[in-house]
Amino acid sequence: MAAEELIDARQMSGFKPFYQFQSPTRVIAGYGLIEGLGFEFAKEGATRVLVVTDEVIHATALIDKVRAGVEDGGLEVVGIYDQVPPDSDSSVVKGAAQAAHEHGADSILAVGGGSVMDTAKLANVIFRHGGEPRDWEGYYGLPRANDGLGRPEELAPFACVPTTCGTGSEVSFAAVIKDSAEHVKFQVGDFPLYPRLAVLDPESTRTLPPAIVAATGMDAMTHAIEGIVSSEWSPHGDACALQALRMLRDNLQLAVEHPEDDAARGNMLIAANLAIQPTHTGAIGIAHSLSHPCGAHYNVPHGVANAINLPWVIEYNAAAGEDIAAKYRDVNELLGLEVGGDGAAVGHALADHVRETVRTLGLPGRLSEVGVPESGIPLLVEGAIGDGCTLVNPVEPSEEDFAELYRKAL
Ligand SMILES: [Fe+2]
């Protein structure tokens, strides 16, 4: 049989005809790592460091510890750019790139959540290559040697200290940024965007409010479940995502209820880091397609939007075919949920479990509770259809499917 005949666009099991998995970021996890930041970042070629963060984090003792840790390694903190809002946009990216130039930085250290890390990633692109943030929209579009076919040109040394436990941006090759004028979130992804270093130290989430632990933890859960069920799933991605789900199962509630539990917070950082790994092969799904427009139009925090949308997507996908349901059975088995019955039953069991988790964590369960009006659905549907995550969902939703999913989540 010819290779082309073996290639099924939605092969949910067996030997995949092709996938490529790369996870090049050096991850260090443990206690006391902030103190050794400079020692570690120097190994990546950094000497003059611009710290990118937000005002809330800047006001905490963490930034002082970061500065001390960087300087202890003989590096210099040449500037701190702290103007990243919770839902960053293109103008902020340009501001951070400008700060890197003005301070004569040769490297960038992101200390923050997804918004900070994604801003710093794209700022690094502008810092190195210039242009406007949206000039770089899309995947694999960064400058390459040899007429665009060769190795992409490297960016400045880039490291992340995540201060939330959800996005996994510290090891991903993508950035999601809002274009406020156009009310869209656009994505930029390419190999040089993989951070060179990710530092997972529970010290960095010590002052994280429990509500943010809950919301970002649900983002991580969404990455893991969508990664396993995506048409772009891979055994490598599954291995990471299933372990992420075990760690979320054992630590999410604990970290929310006991913020002083360093081990639980540390394990949440690792869970989020593992949960994003399926995206290295492009595996994600339409909970994200539904959630991105909620953020772009109504400022719904990403993790909250995913927590609300995920259960409806699970039920929608699981009922669409036994090959898809089989992937959800793996998840249910790990979580101790019902694995028997048809796809609808399996999906319903998992969806109910997710809804119960969201409720127990104290997060909103409805889009109407977070400012999304019914009249906004057509606009949201338009965004969801155009979202890159839609292409890799195991089921291709119609416009009406998306509208129905939003109505259910409302
Ligand atoms: Fe996400």
pLDDT at 15: 95
Task: Say if residue 240 is in the same domain as residue 339.
Answer: yes
Residues of the chain with pLDDT > 70, as a percent, come to: 97
Residues near 81 by Cβ (< 8 Å), separated by ≥ 6? Answer: 50, 51, 52, 53, 95, 96, 99, 100
Domain count, the chain: 2
pLDDT at 5: 45
| Angle (nearest 5°) at CA 244 between 356 and 88 | 80
Asked if residue 44 lies in contact with residue 196, where contact means CB atoms within 8 angstroms, the answer is: yes
Query: What is the overall mean pLDDT for the chain?
Result: 95
Q: Please indicate whether residue 67 or residue 180 has the higher confidence score (pLDDT).
A: 67
Judged by average pLDDT, the poorest of 5-14, 69-78, 208-217, 281-290 is 5-14
Q: How far is the CA of 221 from the centre of ligand 1 (A)?
A: 9
What single-letter DSSP state applies at residue 284? Answer: -
Asked if the structure places residue 234 within a domain, the reply is yes
- The Cβ of residue 300 has, within 10 Å, a number of other Cβ atoms equal to 24
pLDDT band at 146 (very low <50, low <70, confident <90, very high): confident
Asked if the structure places residue 362 within a domain, the reply is yes
Task: Say if residue 99 is in the same domain as residue 247.
Answer: no
What single-letter DSSP state applies at residue 199? Answer: E
Residue 37 has pLDDT above 80, yes or no: yes
pLDDT at 9: 61
Q: How far is the CA of 224 from the centre of ligand 1 (A)?
A: 10
Q: How far is the CA of 271 from the centre of ligand 1 (A)?
A: 13
Q: Please indicate whether residue 254 or residue 144 has the higher confidence score (pLDDT).
A: 254
Give per-residue pLDDT as tens, 155-179.
999 999 999 998 999 999 999 999 9
pLDDT at 147: 65
Asked if the structure places residue 89 within a domain, the reply is yes
pLDDT at 2: 44
Block residue for tokens 């210099």: 76
Average pLDDT over residues 353-365: 98
Q: How far is the CA of 389 from the centre of ligand 1 (A)?
A: 10
What single-letter DSSP state applies at residue 54? Answer: B
Give per-residue pLDDT as tens, 303-337.
999 999 999 999 999 999 999 999 999 999 999 99
Q: How far is the CA of 82 from the centre of ligand 1 (A)?
A: 23
Q: Please indicate whether residue 162 or residue 89 has the higher confidence score (pLDDT).
A: 162
Q: How far is the CA of 302 from the centre of ligand 1 (A)?
A: 7
Q: Which of 205, 228, 253 is the last residue of a domain?
A: 205
pLDDT band at 128 (very low <50, low <70, confident <90, very high): very high
Q: How far is the CA of 88 from the centre of ligand 1 (A)?
A: 15
Give the residue from 390, 186, 375 showing the smallest Cα distance to 287.
Answer: 390
Residues of the chain with pLDDT > 90, as a percent, come to: 92
Q: How far is the CA of 193 from the centre of ligand 1 (A)?
A: 17
Q: Which of 156, 176, 205 is the last residue of a domain?
A: 205
- The three state secondary structure string of 285-354 is CHHHHHHHHHHHHHCCCHHHHHHHHHHHHHHHHHCCCHHHHHHHHHHHHHHCCCCCCCHHHHHHHHHHHH
Q: How far is the CA of 397 from the centre of ligand 1 (A)?
A: 19
pLDDT at 148: 67
pLDDT at 185: 84
Residue 76 has pLDDT above 80, yes or no: yes
Q: How far is the CA of 287 from the centre of ligand 1 (A)?
A: 9
Task: Say if residue 171 is in the same domain as residue 118.
Answer: yes
Q: How far is the CA of 226 from the centre of ligand 1 (A)?
A: 10
Q: Please indicate whether residue 178 or residue 253 has the higher confidence score (pLDDT).
A: 253
Q: How far is the CA of 305 from the centre of ligand 1 (A)?
A: 9
Task: Say if residue 308 is in the same domain as residue 214.
Answer: yes
Give the residue from 362, 386, 262 showing the smallest Cα distance to 303.
Answer: 362
Task: Say if residue 379 is in the same domain as residue 283.
Answer: yes
What's the CATH code of the domain at 368?
Answer: 1.20.1090.10
Q: How far is the CA of 114 from the centre of ligand 1 (A)?
A: 9
Asked if the structure places residue 51 within a domain, the reply is yes
pLDDT at 120: 98
Give per-residue pLDDT as tens, 262-274.
999 999 999 999 9
Residue 1 has pLDDT above 70, yes or no: no
Task: Say if residue 225 is in the same domain as residue 199.
Answer: no
Q: How far is the CA of 38 from the centre of ligand 1 (A)?
A: 29
Helix axes 399-409, 302-318, angle to 10 degrees: 120
Q: Which of 184, 205, 226 is the last residue of a domain?
A: 205
What's the CATH code of the domain at 81?
Answer: 3.40.50.1970
Asked if the structure places residue 14 within a domain, the reply is no
Task: Say if residue 271 is in the same domain as residue 137.
Answer: no
What is the distance between the alpha carbons of residues 68 and 63, in angstroms, rounded to a whole number?
Answer: 8
Q: How far is the CA of 169 from the centre of ligand 1 (A)?
A: 9
Q: How far is the CA of 409 from the centre of ligand 1 (A)?
A: 17
pLDDT at 247: 98
pLDDT band at 7 (very low <50, low <70, confident <90, very high): very low
pLDDT band at 8 (very low <50, low <70, confident <90, very high): low
* Sheet of 174-179, strand order: 138-139, 184-189, 174-179
Instruction: Output the CA–CA distances (angstroms, integers) from residue 126 to 155, 204, 275, 296, 381, in the order listed.
Output: 10, 27, 28, 22, 31
Q: How far is the CA of 372 from the centre of ligand 1 (A)?
A: 19
Task: Say if residue 257 is in the same domain as residue 156.
Answer: no
Task: Say if residue 107 is in the same domain as residue 253.
Answer: no
Asked if the structure places residue 260 within a domain, the reply is yes
Q: How far is the CA of 384 from the centre of ligand 1 (A)?
A: 14
Asked if residue 250 lies in contact with residue 244, where contact means CB atoms within 8 angstroms, the answer is: no
Q: How far is the CA of 77 from the centre of ligand 1 (A)?
A: 30
Q: How far is the CA of 2 from the centre of ligand 1 (A)?
A: 37
Residue 10 has pLDDT above 90, yes or no: no
Q: How far is the CA of 306 from the centre of ligand 1 (A)?
A: 7
For residue 245, what are the domain limits? 210-409
Q: How far is the CA of 186 from the centre of ligand 1 (A)?
A: 13
Asked if the structure places residue 26 within a domain, the reply is no
For the whole model, what pTM was predicted? 0.94
Task: Say if residue 195 is in the same domain as residue 235.
Answer: no
Task: Say if residue 220 is in the same domain as residue 168.
Answer: no
Asked if the structure places residue 74 within a domain, the reply is yes
Task: Say if residue 215 is in the same domain as residue 194.
Answer: no
What is the distance between the alpha carbons of residues 1 and 213, in angstroms, rounded to a whole number?
Answer: 50
